Amino acid sequence: MDTIALTRTFGLFFATAIAELLGCYLPLLWLTGKGSPWLLLPATLSLVAFVWLLTLHPAASGRVYATYGAIYIATAIGWLHFVDGVTPTWNDYLGVGLALAGAGSIALGHRTA
């Protein structure tokens, strides 16, 4: 996979993760009394976008979703820091590193010469 395709795929994974996190976070704000019921409208739109973005991934295979899972984990830890205001611990960073290394191993191990 060339650099442009890899960047495009990573961007798609990241956008998918943001749509999923936002679609779950907004109802949480409403349920905990920190936001209006109107948050359910953008939450619904975000989850619709999430499902649509899933259809754009290169293939609906286990390898694609394993890679997406690692990107999701990394994005969720970023969300923890930037949205929730919680500083990640070294364990969080280690977990992200292990998830990304595992996804890389799966993706690179699949290559056929």
Domains contained in the chain, number: 1
Integer Cα distance of 41 and 30 in angstroms? 11
Integer Cα distance of 92 and 47 in angstroms? 26
Domain enclosing residue 86, as ranges: 3-109
User: Cα separations (Å) of 21 from 1, 12, 64, 73, 113?
Assistant: 28, 14, 19, 11, 37
Q: Give me the mean pLDDT over the 6-11 stretch.
A: 85
pTM of the model: 0.82
Q: Percent of the chain scored above 90 by pLDDT?
A: 65
* Interval 66-113: pLDDT, tens: 888 999 999 999 999 999 999 999 999 999 999 999 988 877 776 655
Q: How confident is the model at residue 53 (pLDDT cuts 50, 70, 90)?
A: very high
Residue 37 scores a pLDDT above 80: yes
